[in-house]
Structure 1
């Protein structure tokens, strides 16, 4: 076992403070990783605040991890010391069930082991995430970082990126697809960038006229104001694919009306009950309302390779670890364009205190 320095919350709504904890000893199929950068996700704040009623304290958040390999177990064949790697939302699964065998480890029937606030499959110990110096991860859940992908900005691809990429690939978004992105935050801005890179015609749907310039700068072709009833009526049946990134309970009916024949609306933000859905809107035009949960390891690797090839990177604000509580406060106010990334080398300053 090794001692690790990180930042943890010890109760709901508490500030994150330095903590020392133990990482497990290297198993035969493990990879040890020094963490260089870690993204800050909305789900980190939800989990710290116990919004989903399943948090085990103390909690060390962070599931958008970029770093390099410092040691490998005796059975590891895909990585060596010095390799630049990444880790996303899961660090293990059963690898035997149907979803796992089809490269959808995030849907493991027995439950994936989450990067933090999960349970180690062998010992039952609680997992600690990437707001820390280093991490130990099973080889099958370590991702190769392409050499031409800037590690400073790549971390949010491991959650925000794959969350919108996975349904785009599943439903065939590509050249000429008419795509709408509802909401322009951490998820939405990645959806715009990725759909544009895939060759789609992209419309951002927002309530804020002030976001129009930002949307176009990110690559959107059009902006549709959802509180403009005339514009919404004019856009009826206009889209093949809509990705809804709104993170809270809302009414999806106005967006369903925008889908054409066989159109699909995918929810990726709201993990809670929605407003009642009008069944007639689904029946008309054979529309589909679907959901999507991050992605499997194969899909994340595909995303990293695509982003390296097309130089698609999240828009990030780099912070020191000492500023994480301020970042959480700003996150709640949507005061970031569009993702925070922690420079984890700043933990060295904390260690000197």
Structure 2
């Protein structure tokens, strides 16, 4: 480690409020770049991790894997980025580079040693902990920094590095486009991105939300229809309607009911991560030859593809910009569902 330190907001222990502190900054290697972080999105998974709800937490923890900033320094062998470039960092900062998945551009599914290195709450190859985007700077390998197109403002681009690619990947993989009917379950940080992206791909989009509270927002974002799942008639009237369902919520849903909304051969993709195991009847899959799938972020090539797509179509996250000192309040508001649709930290306030 170097003696360099950076200012950050970190959770000192599980369930403790985040506090302003300093953490070591990784030494800059020949293939590394130093990024002055301008903005960092707050993902619900940051809260899960800071509270150690998924286990294996490393403290002190600096959350943040939706990072947008400007290159401040480059290592001697860097060729992909230059000082002054606008770049982003998502959920991972390294992988083995050699396994079958890494070679296929699926670094998020690395099977080599030490596997995918997460942006925070992980460990670098040398065993030192990774620190995330709630900080003034981050040092990453050039291959894990994405180019942010000039037409995307850095503040609305930051959440794309997780929320954007998390929904872009299954929408792209399962063919959302003209002539396809897509349902998006939930209109939160992930869901509001899924609606915009699926609409831009040319699909007919329906939002399925517990209530109609956000109906106006959903229609403005590009949804063709907005239905309340608390209304029992919704599942009767929409039975067999959709080619693809993207479930963005982490709640324990009646999966059999949602699978009943698929057309024959349709697919339901889970991107939300419920804390407890879920269950369903296999007959919900057998009838109609339907599929249940999962999807986790995207590889580096697909993340760049997503950023370019969003730039081309004028898509950004809908955000509420906050000062770093308000991060604990923002966490409480996320848990209360009081955000439209993503909190983003102005890192100049750190």
> What TM-score bracket applies, with the shorter chain setting the length?
over 0.9
Q: How much has 1:152 moved relative to structure 2?
A: 1.6
Query: How far apart, in 2, do the equivalents of 1:164 and 1:87 lie?
Result: 17
> Shift in Å at residue 231 of structure 1?
2.8
Q: CA deviation at 1:58?
A: 0.4
Could you tell me which of 256, 278, 282 is aligned with 2:281? 278
Which of 162, 171, 175 matches 1:168? 171
Matches of 2:274 and 2:116, distance apart in 1: 18
**Aligned twin of 2:105:** 103
Question: How far does residue 22 in structure 1 lie from its aligned partner after superposition?
Answer: 1.3
Partner of 1:322: 325
CA distance in 2, matches of 1:284, 1:150: 46
Partner of 2:19: 17
Aligned positions of 1:184-333 closer than 5 A: 184-333=187-336
How many Å separate the matches in 2 of 1:12 and 1:295? Answer: 28
The answer on whether the counterparts of 1:196 and 1:220 sit within 8 Å (CA) in structure 2 is: yes
- Partners of 1:13 and 1:274 lie apart in 2 by 23
Aligned to 2:149: 146
| Per-residue deviation, residues 250-306 of structure 1 (Å, max 9, x unmatched) | 221111000001100000002444442011110011100000000101111001101
- Determine if contact 1:251/1:274 at 8 Å carries over to the other structure: no
Contact 1:224–1:232 (CA under 8 A) maintained in structure 2: no
Give 1:350's aligned residue.
none
Give the RMSD, CA atoms, in angstroms.
1.0
8 A contact 1:225–1:232 mirrored in 2: no
> Which residue of 28, 47, 50 maps to 2:49?
47
Question: 1:59-100, CA deviations, whole angstroms, 9 ceiling, x for partnerless residues?
Answer: 000110001111111111111111111100000000101110
CA distance in 2 between partners of 1:210 and 1:63 (Å): 29
**How far apart are 1:180 and its partner, in Å?**
0.2
Q: CA deviation at 1:31?
A: 0.8
Shift of 1:219: 1.1
Unpaired segments of 5 or more residues in structure 1? 348-353
Describe the SS at the equivalent of 1:243. Answer: strand
SS of 2:223's equivalent in the other structure is: coil
* TM-score for both structures, normalised by structure 2: 0.97
Tell me, yes or no, if the aligned pair for 1:184 and 1:206 is still in contact at 8 Å.
yes
1:184 CA drift (Å): 1.0
Q: SS at 2:230's partner residue?
A: coil
Q: Is the 8 A contact 1:250 1:274 kept in 2?
A: no
What's the CA shift for 1:165?
Answer: 0.5
1:133 counterpart residue number: 136
State the number of aligned residues.
Answer: 346
CA distance in 2 between counterparts of 1:271 and 1:226 reads: 18
3-state secondary structure, aligned to 1:96:
coil
Structure 2 distance, partners of 1:314, 1:268, is: 17
Larger deviation, residues 87-96 vs 18-27: 18-27
Secondary structure of the residue aligned to 1:19 is strand
Matches of 1:116 and 1:274, distance apart in 2? 25
Distance (whole Å) between structure 2 residues aligned to residue 344 and residue 231 of structure 1: 43
**Shift in Å, 1:25:** 1.5
Instruction: Provide runs of 4+ in structure 1 moved above 3 Å.
Output: 271-275
User: Cα offset for 1:24?
Assistant: 1.6
Alignment of 1:119 onto 2:123: yes
Q: Deviations over 1:5-48 (max 9, x none)?
A: 00111111111111112112111110111000000000100000
- Structure 2's unaligned 5+ residue stretches are none
Deviation digits for residues 126-180 of structure 1 (CA, Å, limit 9, x no counterpart): 1011100101001110101101111121100001111100111111111221000
